[in-house]
Amino acid sequence: MQQQYVEKQKEITPQELLDLASVAKSLPGTMIGNVAMLYGYRVGGLAGGFAAVFGMILPPFAVILVISFFYAAFRANPWVNAAMEGMQAAVVPIIFGAAVNLIKGSMPYPPCVLLMLISVAAYLFTGINPIFMVILGVVLGLVIGSYYERRQDHDPS
Amino acid sequence: MILLKLFWSFLLIGFGSFGGLSMIPQISNEVLSHGWMTAEQVTDIVAIAEMTPGPLGLNCASFAGMQAAGIPGAIAANLGVLMPSITLCAAAAVFFHKFRNSRVMQWILVGVRPICLGMVVGVILSLSGSNYWSGTGLNLTGIAIGAVDLFLLLKCKSGVPTVLLFSAAAGLVLYGALGLPA
């Protein structure tokens, strides 16, 4: 995105792209889909937004379509299987690496740490649907966020 | 019917997640509980999605949709997961300037971020169980490859494609050529 639109076409400044990205990140859904919608809207209104979203999904859709057609046959091949077994071992470290990046800035107030731990336990030991956990997060976020912000307003130190 | 179910499941995934790897808990919960994919396939699709262009959520939607109901299934799942972008985010685009500095959105994230992080940690733990445990004992070869991967990612700052390439090569040599048990 940065290369294509900021540097080549000069359609948008780096700062604007950052703004779009931060709004896209704070909304639910795939971030890239949200960025496409915001950027498309900026260039061509709502129709531009829809066009950008659908344009963005087509290439990966085609790639996965091809892969999943051959998935069963590929997977039965012992060499492909060996390579996939190797890659399976990489999945947990990759998610771990991403989680390390998520930690930064994710727990600004002490109750957030408790919320994180409760979330780990709920995911592992109860069958609760993750969407209810996210809804709980929205409600508690409103409570915790507004409480600490009010406290900061009263105590400027 | 299956198409509606796929659409609805991925709609929930879309609205309940905030992009990237924070989608994995939702995705694995939905596709496993409906029997659309096995735990091994979820791991495969994460690896495939990281190797191919395109975001993880969409790649998982396409793959799970294909497994469950062919191309119509993939389309239904993609539409579901994109719903937040074409509804909520379209609204945000229209009201962009009001929205950007919204304190309420910032407060919501104060609660949602730790929840998402916690569930990602949960996924790490439960996937560790299925990826490094072969049913009868520890998969030592897998643990060894994973340990090197972690080192590459955190210490050498290698990119994800490099790490996957290394792991595939290690898999070919250790499992394929040397015949070590998985």
Q: Is A17 an 8 Å CB contact of chain B? A: no
Cβ contact A102–B104 (<8 Å): no
pLDDT in tens, A48-90: 988 998 888 888 888 888 888 888 788 888 888 888 889 888 9
Q: Is B31 an 8 Å CB contact of chain A? A: no
Domain containing residue A113? 107-157
Domain co-membership, B92 together with B38: yes
- Which is more confidently placed, A31 or A117? A117
Domain co-membership, B106 together with B179: no
How far apart CA B10 and CA B61 sit, in angstroms, is 7
B133 pairs with which residues across the strands? Answer: B138
Q: What is the pLDDT of residue B7?
A: 94
**B residues 70..99 contacting A (CB < 8 A):** 71, 74, 78, 81-86, 88-90, 92-94, 96, 99
Judged against a pLDDT cut of 90, whether residue B41 lies above it is answered with no
What percent of chain B is modeled with pLDDT above 90? 15
B138 pairs with which residues across the strands? Answer: B133
pLDDT in tens, B70-86: 899 999 999 999 888 88
Domain co-membership, B121 together with B145: no
Domain co-membership, B76 together with B141: no
Q: CA separation (Å) from B177 to A24, A108, B140? A: 46, 49, 17
Q: Using pLDDT thresholds of 50, 70 and 90, give the confidence band for residue B182.
A: low
Q: Is B130 an 8 Å CB contact of chain A? A: no
Specify the amino acid at residue A32.
I
Domain co-membership, B101 together with B147: no
Q: CA separation (Å) from A138 to A47, A135, B16, B19, B78? A: 30, 5, 10, 16, 25
Residues of B in Cβ contact (< 8 Å) with A25: 18-19
How far apart CA B145 and CA B153 sit, in angstroms, is 12
What would the mean pLDDT of A9-29 be, rounded to a whole number? 72
pLDDT in tens, A99-136: 887 788 788 889 999 999 999 999 888 878 888 888 89
**A residues 42..81 contacting B (CB < 8 A):** 42, 46, 49-50, 53, 57, 59-61, 63-65, 67-69, 71, 75, 78-79, 81
Residue A33 lies in a domain: no
As given in the structure block, the two tokens for residue B118 are 């916690």
Domain co-membership, B148 together with B123: no
Number of domains chain B contains: 2
Judged against a pLDDT cut of 60, whether residue A24 lies above it is answered with yes
Number of domains chain A contains: 1
How far apart CA B151 and CA B172 sit, in angstroms, is 20
For the four alpha carbons of A5, B56, A131 and B111, in that order, the dihedral sign comes to negative
Residue after which a domain boundary falls, among B131, B152, B168: B131
Q: CA separation (Å) from A10 to A1, A4, A52, B4, B49? A: 11, 9, 17, 41, 30
Q: Is A23 an 8 Å CB contact of chain B? A: yes
How far apart CA B168 and CA A85 sit, in angstroms, is 8
The interface predicted TM-score of the complex, written ipTM, equals 0.79
Q: Is A2 an 8 Å CB contact of chain B? A: no
Domain co-membership, B126 together with B154: no
Q: Is B178 an 8 Å CB contact of chain A? A: no
Residue A119 lies in a domain: yes
Residues of A in Cβ contact (< 8 Å) with B103: 145, 149
How far apart CA A67 and CA A99 sit, in angstroms, is 27
Domain co-membership, B16 together with B97: yes
Judged against a pLDDT cut of 90, whether residue A143 lies above it is answered with yes
Q: Using pLDDT thresholds of 50, 70 and 90, give the confidence band for residue B161.
A: confident
Judged against a pLDDT cut of 60, whether residue A157 lies above it is answered with no
Average pLDDT value for chain B: 84
Cβ-proximal residues to A62 (8 Å cutoff; 6+ apart), any chain: none
Residues of B in Cβ contact (< 8 Å) with A149: 103, 107
Residue A139 lies in a domain: yes
Q: Is B176 an 8 Å CB contact of chain A? A: yes
Specify the amino acid at residue B32.
L
**A residues 79..108 contacting B (CB < 8 A):** 79, 81-100, 102-103, 105-108
Domain containing residue B99? 2-131
Q: Is B18 an 8 Å CB contact of chain A? A: yes
Domain co-membership, B113 together with B139: no
Give me the total of CB pairs closer than 8 Å, taking one residue from chain A and one from chain B: 371
Cβ contact A115–B115 (<8 Å): yes
